[in-house]
Structure 1
Amino acid sequence: MNYSAFCFSVFGYSQKKGTKKSVTIKPKTEFVAELMAKMTLDEKIGQLNLPTSGDITTGAANSSDVAKNIEEGKVGGLFNIKSVEKIKEVQKIAVEKSRLKIPLLFGMDVIHGYETTFPIPLGLSCTWDMKLIERSAQIAAQEASADGINWTFSPMVDISRDPRWGRVSEGSGEDAFLGSQIAKAMVKGYQQDDLSKNNSILSCVKHFALYGASEAGRDYNTVDMSRIKMYNDYFPPYKAAVDAGAGSVMASFNEIDGIPATGNKWLMTEVLRNEWGFKGFVVTDYTGIPEMIAHGMGDLQTVSALALNAGVEMDMVGEGFLTTLKKSLEENKVSIEEIDNAVRLILNAKYDLGLFQDPYKYCDVKRAKNEVFTSANRLEARKIASQSLVLLKNEKQVLPLKKSGTIAVIGPLADAKENMAGTWSVATNMDKSISLIAGIIEVAGNETNVLYAKGSNLDYDASFEEKATMFGKTLHRDDRTAAALLAEALKIANQSDVIVAALGESAEMSGESSSRTNLQIPQAQKDLLQALVKTGKPVVLVLFTGRPLVLVQENETVPAILNTWFAGSEAGSAIADVLFGDENPSGKLTTTFPRSAGQIPIYYSHKNTGRPLGNTEGKFEKFKSNYIDERNEPLFPFGFGLSYTTFDYSNLKLSSDKMKFDGKISASVDITNTGNYDGKEVVQLYTRDLVGSVTRPLKELKGFQKITLKKGEKKTVTFEISVEDLKFYNSDLEFVAEPGLFEVYIGTSSDAEKKVSFELNK
């Protein structure tokens, strides 16, 4: 809805009685201009201040330190405050006690669900289903808005090709094309193309920009890359989110071209606003402005002015704007026009959310009771989670399990409901999450005997486990010796028909400030797993992880591996649905799994060298681009994922072997379900530009379709290719397609070998 086109009757609030009264709101531009004309400089700067909720508690909001600043007009919004009752109390201070009664924004890290939690974003991306991803964001917005939240710091769209970086768990993987589709779906799910609805919330695209390429995979670290790489490989998802109408953008912590993103005018103004036409506001990340001091950019006043001049409108927690902008204005280090522009953009967002119409729009207690963590939402979360799981190996069809006999469920992640939601699940009620053991008992039924043993702790090192189980995500470390834990596990393993080993990372081993150099399963668990394998019983590794791991030993010794990521509040039930075949796994990897950490960065869309290894992969060849001690190829490629059934690809063809710049051609392939189960397949189309004015990747994802095939069914899948699919940024940063020969691959992963060719002509 476009508010700026008309006036309408709305409800305001009486300062004395808190009762509704009918008022008239003018069109947005006029309304905001008139409001700004009444504001003092201090009140304007106050709108740019975003503190955390601090000491606010229900019933004590008026006496908090933050309340005093709100009354004085020194706060534009708050974040990390949960519950509609608290939020209503605080909003009441803003609209009934401050001079101009400007309502507050209330933000929260609603990253992959609210109380109903969905798979971590990396897992969610593995569904390759944009409708499901959009729906997850829509449910998250519904629940968050019902509980008073009107702004989410999501989606995180950073491309990352380095699994050492813990925040790879928050993104959608390594590919710009897929990441762009997911970015659009998430923004639409949160905002629903209509912020006037009381169940839609403002999205915030982060982290702008390039955060996923931090050196050495170490969080908050430097990023240094060419602009052609930025535009082709890292920028597209941010731009896609902006094009989808995202209302806000968050600056990243890293530097770009030697200037931190928070103070980078080329990034925030030239690219984001002038090139992409972004109309919303930019907020810093947590203390992003004062952190530029440590970068070596100057004192607090200097870096605050740098951020405002760059095009940043809101200061999260740093209070640099609040405490220094007035002085900088007096010293002509910033202009009143820049301050006014920032204020205008923030007030515009509040107007678009309908907060001037009704500041208590998101404070309906009935909604909070009836729309949060509902049975319907949990059921959808369970279905979505089941489609995020990726079957990496299934030798001799160990899976699906039978709902009979004896199953030994062993491992430190088996009875760990606090960890099921994964990292950045701040609103999750961990006590209500479904553990793996609980899910298996539920789904297996009465004819199955389920035994349990912990088997080992997360790691031999207790101090490491403490760092990896923060924020209440304990694994309840067992004080028994490793030998005693193992003996108990082997006892029940020998009584079983099949062993389910629940191993991997704890929830907080990935996420922010959880970078790792060793990407293997912790040694305590590796030792447990190999002991279980030696029993001779079939072993299913249920792998919990927030990143690609190095699984060479596991892949060589364990007959079945199901990668479950962290599947959300309904994780245990969803995993059990797949283990027992009630759901056929259909997830596909959106990140490459390396054989060794030494291969990193490793990703499918790499470029050739002048001395490529060619067709001798796996064999060392001197003076070729390869390692002495490792193969070049990954353990599991981008796009990979097995099913309980099998799919045959045949009859790949193009509608024409030539295409004009103003024309289109289609590529088609026949897919047949040749196995014994109904299933879903993600059909993936890749192209290769064989000759270019700059070097081009060996393959680029340009299309995908998730289809359902019944046992024995055959379908023809068709993709349309236009010149837009063939464009890239050249050395002059022009978005162009160049005439020449192109190869088209269609297959079940990025390793697709079936190909056809066409020529693009002007």
Structure 2
Amino acid sequence: MKLFKKILKIIGYVLVVVVLAAIISYGVVYIKGYNNSKKNMALLGKEAPTIEQDGFKYRDLNKNGKLDTYEDFNALVNERVDDLLSQMNLDEKAGLMFITMINMNSEGKPIDIPVISTNMMQMAFSFMLPPASDMIVKKKMRSFNILSSYDAHIMATFNNTIQKIAERSRLGIPITLATDPRHGTENNPGASIYTSAFSQWPSSLGLAATRDTLLVCEFGNIARQEYRSIGLTLTLSPMADLATEPRWGRINGTFGEDAQLSAAITKAYILGFQGDSLNNKSVACMAKHFSGGGPQKDGEDPHFPYGKEQVYPGNNFDYHLIPFIKGAFAAHTASIMPYYGIPIDQTNENVAFAFNKEIITNLLRDSLKFDGVVCTDWNIISKSKLGEPRSWGVENLTTSQKVKKILDAGCDQFGGEDIPNEIVELVKAGQISEDRIDQSVKRILREKFKLGLFDNPYVDVDKANKIAGNNAFRAKGKLAQQKSIVLLKNKNLLPLKKGSKIYAKGITNPKAFKNYAVLVDNPKDADFILNRINTPYDKRDKYFLEGFFHQGRLYYNEEEKKEILNLIQQKPSVVVVNLERPAILIEIANKSDALLAEFGATDEVLLNILFGEVKPTGKLPFEIPLTWEAVQNQLEDMPYDSKDPLYPFGYGLTY
């Protein structure tokens, strides 16, 4: 007993020392961050005064007491761009060519000092990302994507706060705030961000399953209003990639495997966000991932080293261009993002898309005549706290050489990076001309001017909560969820009778059943069984972000399958599968009485379908394979090539 007490005492001392060391360490970090932030803010000038001329009010962004052409909203965009460019120094130009993540706290303030928080994601990124003032003030960066998810008024406050910081810079160049998609039910920092403040819609696959381009355009219009209400003016979407490789972990961000369907949905999506032309009410779209990021070797994603190869065994490269040509470019997408992967043997050198001049300049710029902003995918140049760079095909180049190769390839902006000094040094060393830098800066400025950011980048914080997620917007989102649900099998079971006793598994909102059925705790007491299940995948956690990507197998392992089948064989059963990818469902389909596919639908929406208040009308955006062997035998770049699929592309029943 004495020995045990002695051990506890030692452990107590050790814990005290560890806690004290942590407190002291954080204290050092805090003081250092505070002083750094104070020095940065001291470098800023005054806010932009207002100039009145000919009955109009203008923002004097460079504070020189007169109306410059770039401050004049009556001047032509190109004239404003040229005037501002002539006043910019090299540091300001270089800063404009970078976009990376920025963090905010729960009060809507930018984070300069790492925080201790119960929000683990916020705390992690506060330690991993550079201080906000370093990027805005020192590095003169003017584009950021946000990862945080708060109430609308908090995010609107953040926009206004950082825009005020930018306004106090020498030329007052405003900030473009960007985001990954926020209107689905998934939270994946590498692809999409769940935001309860906004209306909730089905995934991109679900939008395609509706086959309703007018509804998709309406989604874009609603999302545009919600984004603009909090200051977001650039969406890192849509994904015009094709789901021709069923194992790929990012299929749920696509519009399926059919190029013509994807093109039609892509076009409608962009028109909803941007309108017929980019203006001060638009949200600019960054369509991705040129020239099509779907044909991944063995379905592995190029966020990770094992997935760097894109392959074309069916010689079907051009098929993957169709959603861009007939969709993104037809709708005049503002920006384009290439993917991480290497298009194996499609060009003279096997390097990733953003480093590939034949892809960016020869194909995208010269052949397809795209003159908007081309921005690389995130973190392809330098090592950071987020991990190793995804510099596939050019891993041995130095940071400077990678930057030069990307510029030589024809890209304008660097995603997930904050190293504008590299561009400055390349110009000073004579390796890149300032004229080449000016080409990219013009494109980036042109987009900012068209979006109205120079005239008024601020939002009404009080209105943000009234616009974002209002009842009308949420109702439309629910309608889209309903229209996206696909009925795959119905053995004279659906629609169910109201008042039935149901044993439900996998539901999130038991209260939704109140007006439809009686929930029971034991399958033996039920008239019917409802089982909501997810698409299977291999769990991985070797690399940062890997845990968020559902990759690998599409079959249920023996344990998963046994659990599902044992339940649904006890009573007449309905199985609802959330399809992130084309799951192998043959045994579940055989044993269930009714089978439905959903792409992000609430329990409330699902019940409307199950009880016949709404008829299912969705159509599959991809094939459902019969076996794992069939999946393995498919060609990565070819659509509809699964042998004897359980359900073909476009399949869908109704009542």
Normalization by structure 2: what TM-score? 0.77
Instruction: Check conservation: 1:438, 1:572, Cα contact below 8 A.
Output: no
- CA offset digits 1:371-413 (Å, max 9, x no partner): 1111111111111101101111001x20111112311112xx2
Which structure's relative contact order is higher, taking Cα pairs within 8 Å and 6+ residues apart? 2
Paired residues for 1:436-515 under 5 Å: 437-442=510-515, 444=516, 448-452=517-521, 492-505=522-535, 514-515=549-550
Q: How many residues align?
A: 538
- Tell me the distance in 2 between the aligned counterparts of 1:350 and 1:302: 29
User: What is the identity, as a one-letter code, of the residue corresponding to 2:279?
Assistant: S
The answer on 1:92 being equivalent to 2:164 is yes
- Tell me the distance in 2 between the aligned counterparts of 1:67 and 1:300: 24
- Tell me the distance in 1 between the aligned counterparts of 2:456 and 2:60: 8
* Equivalent position of 2:21 in the other structure: none
Are the structure 2 counterparts of residues 184 and 33 from structure 1 closer, same or farther at C-alpha, using a change threshold of 3 Å?
same
SS in 2 for 1:370: helix
Paired residues for 1:205-220 under 5 Å: 205-220=287-302
> Please, which of 581, 586, 591 is the counterpart of residue 557 of structure 1?
591
Shift of 1:69: 3.2
* Equivalent position of 2:606 in the other structure: 575
- Tell me the distance in 2 between the aligned counterparts of 1:607 and 1:14: 52
- CA offset digits 1:706-759 (Å, max 9, x no partner): xxxxxxxxxxxxxxxxxxxxxxxxxxxxxxxxxxxxxxxxxxxxxxxxxxxxxx
Shift of 1:60: 4.6
Paired residues for 1:353-364 under 5 Å: 353-360=451-458, 363-364=459-460
- Tell me the distance in 1 between the aligned counterparts of 2:146 and 2:539: 22
Instruction: Check conservation: 1:508, 1:514, Cα contact below 8 A.
Output: no
Shift of 1:74: 1.9
Shift of 1:21: 13
Shift of 1:312: 1.0
The answer on 1:517 being equivalent to 2:535 is no
> Please, which of 320, 325, 344 is the counterpart of residue 234 of structure 1?
320
The answer on 1:30 being equivalent to 2:79 is yes
Instruction: Check conservation: 1:81, 1:106, Cα contact below 8 A.
Output: no
* Equivalent position of 1:385 in the other structure: 481
- Tell me the distance in 1 between the aligned counterparts of 2:112 and 2:62: 19
> Please, which of 457, 465, 469 is the counterpart of residue 373 of structure 1?
469
Shift of 1:28: 1.3
Shift of 1:634: 0.7
User: What is the identity, as a one-letter code, of the residue corresponding to 1:110?
Assistant: P
Paired residues for 1:321-360 under 5 Å: 322-360=420-458
Shift of 1:438: 3.6
| Bigger mean CA offset, 328-337 vs 265-274 | 328-337
- CA offset digits 1:69-90 (Å, max 9, x no partner): 3224620211116500011100
> Please, which of 624, 640, 643 is the counterpart of residue 593 of structure 1?
624
Instruction: Check conservation: 1:592, 1:636, Cα contact below 8 A.
Output: yes
- Tell me the distance in 1 between the aligned counterparts of 2:474 and 2:584: 32
* Equivalent position of 2:615 in the other structure: 584
Shift of 1:56: 6.1
- Tell me the distance in 2 between the aligned counterparts of 1:182 and 1:225: 24
Are the structure 2 counterparts of residues 508 and 28 from structure 1 closer, same or farther at C-alpha, using a change threshold of 3 Å?
farther
- Tell me the distance in 1 between the aligned counterparts of 2:607 and 2:104: 41
> Please, which of 337, 350, 361 is the counterpart of residue 269 of structure 1?
361
- Tell me the distance in 1 between the aligned counterparts of 2:550 and 2:586: 21
- Tell me the distance in 2 between the aligned counterparts of 1:145 and 1:349: 15
SS in 1 for 2:72: strand
- Tell me the distance in 2 between the aligned counterparts of 1:197 and 1:572: 38
> Please, which of 95, 108, 114 is the counterpart of residue 179 of structure 2?
108
Shift of 1:545: 2.6
Identical residues among aligned pairs (%): 27
Are the structure 2 counterparts of residues 315 and 547 from structure 1 closer, same or farther at C-alpha, using a change threshold of 3 Å?
same
User: What is the identity, as a one-letter code, of the residue corresponding to 1:555?
Assistant: A
User: What is the identity, as a one-letter code, of the residue corresponding to 1:440?
Assistant: F
> Please, which of 534, 544, 547 is the counterpart of residue 578 of structure 2?
544
Query: Tell me, which stretches of 5 or more residues in structure 1 are unaligned?
Result: 1-6, 416-434, 453-491, 610-630, 645-762
Instruction: Check conservation: 1:292, 1:303, Cα contact below 8 A.
Output: no
Paired residues for 1:605-624 under 5 Å: none
Are the structure 2 counterparts of residues 21 and 439 from structure 1 closer, same or farther at C-alpha, using a change threshold of 3 Å?
farther
User: What is the identity, as a one-letter code, of the residue corresponding to 2:410?
Assistant: G
Instruction: Check conservation: 1:174, 1:603, Cα contact below 8 A.
Output: no
* Equivalent position of 2:568 in the other structure: 533
Shift of 1:328: 1.9
Shift of 1:516: 3.0
> Please, which of 638, 642, 654 is the counterpart of residue 653 of structure 2?
642
Shift of 1:34: 1.1
Are the structure 2 counterparts of residues 32 and 267 from structure 1 closer, same or farther at C-alpha, using a change threshold of 3 Å?
same
Shift of 1:523: 4.2
SS in 2 for 1:185: helix
- Tell me the distance in 1 between the aligned counterparts of 2:240 and 2:607: 30
- Tell me the distance in 1 between the aligned counterparts of 2:500 and 2:436: 71
SS in 2 for 1:359: coil
Are the structure 2 counterparts of residues 226 and 334 from structure 1 closer, same or farther at C-alpha, using a change threshold of 3 Å?
farther
Shift of 1:323: 2.9
- Tell me the distance in 1 between the aligned counterparts of 2:373 and 2:139: 19
SS in 2 for 1:51: strand
Instruction: Check conservation: 1:12, 1:21, Cα contact below 8 A.
Output: no
- Tell me the distance in 1 between the aligned counterparts of 2:565 and 2:205: 28
Are the structure 2 counterparts of residues 499 and 60 from structure 1 closer, same or farther at C-alpha, using a change threshold of 3 Å?
closer
- Tell me the distance in 2 between the aligned counterparts of 1:62 and 1:212: 36
Are the structure 2 counterparts of residues 58 and 98 from structure 1 closer, same or farther at C-alpha, using a change threshold of 3 Å?
farther
Are the structure 2 counterparts of residues 238 and 189 from structure 1 closer, same or farther at C-alpha, using a change threshold of 3 Å?
same
- CA offset digits 1:430-461 (Å, max 9, x no partner): xxxxx4x343335x1xxx31225xxxxxxxxx
Shift of 1:197: 4.0
Shift of 1:295: 3.3
> Please, which of 160, 166, 169 is the counterpart of residue 249 of structure 2?
166
Are the structure 2 counterparts of residues 304 and 67 from structure 1 closer, same or farther at C-alpha, using a change threshold of 3 Å?
same
| Bigger mean CA offset, 79-88 vs 128-137 | 79-88
SS in 2 for 1:86: helix
* Equivalent position of 1:314 in the other structure: 413
More helix by share: 2
- Tell me the distance in 1 between the aligned counterparts of 2:474 and 2:538: 23
Instruction: Check conservation: 1:121, 1:170, Cα contact below 8 A.
Output: yes
SS in 2 for 1:164: coil
SS in 2 for 1:42: helix
SS in 1 for 2:232: coil
Paired residues for 1:729-744 under 5 Å: none
Query: Tell me, which stretches of 5 or more residues in structure 2 are unaligned?
Result: 1-53, 114-130, 149-154, 185-194, 383-388
The answer on 1:182 being equivalent to 2:265 is yes
* Equivalent position of 1:12 in the other structure: 59
| Bigger mean CA offset, 189-198 vs 492-501 | 189-198
Are the structure 2 counterparts of residues 524 and 141 from structure 1 closer, same or farther at C-alpha, using a change threshold of 3 Å?
farther
- CA offset digits 1:92-123 (Å, max 9, x no partner): 1001x211110010001125466212111112
* Equivalent position of 1:622 in the other structure: none
Instruction: Check conservation: 1:594, 1:636, Cα contact below 8 A.
Output: yes
- Tell me the distance in 2 between the aligned counterparts of 1:607 and 1:271: 23
Are the structure 2 counterparts of residues 606 and 226 from structure 1 closer, same or farther at C-alpha, using a change threshold of 3 Å?
closer
- Tell me the distance in 1 between the aligned counterparts of 2:355 and 2:135: 26
Instruction: Check conservation: 1:195, 1:202, Cα contact below 8 A.
Output: yes
- Tell me the distance in 2 between the aligned counterparts of 1:138 and 1:583: 25
Shift of 1:252: 0.5
User: What is the identity, as a one-letter code, of the residue corresponding to 1:244?
Assistant: A
> Please, which of 121, 129, 141 is the counterpart of residue 75 of structure 1?
141
Normalization by structure 1: what TM-score? 0.66
SS in 1 for 2:487: strand
Shift of 1:132: 1.0
The answer on 1:128 being equivalent to 2:248 is no
> Please, which of 331, 346, 350 is the counterpart of residue 244 of structure 1?
331
- Tell me the distance in 1 between the aligned counterparts of 2:464 and 2:112: 25
User: What is the identity, as a one-letter code, of the residue corresponding to 1:545?
Assistant: L
> Please, which of 343, 348, 351 is the counterpart of residue 259 of structure 1?
351
* Equivalent position of 1:633 in the other structure: 644
- Tell me the distance in 2 between the aligned counterparts of 1:59 and 1:517: 38
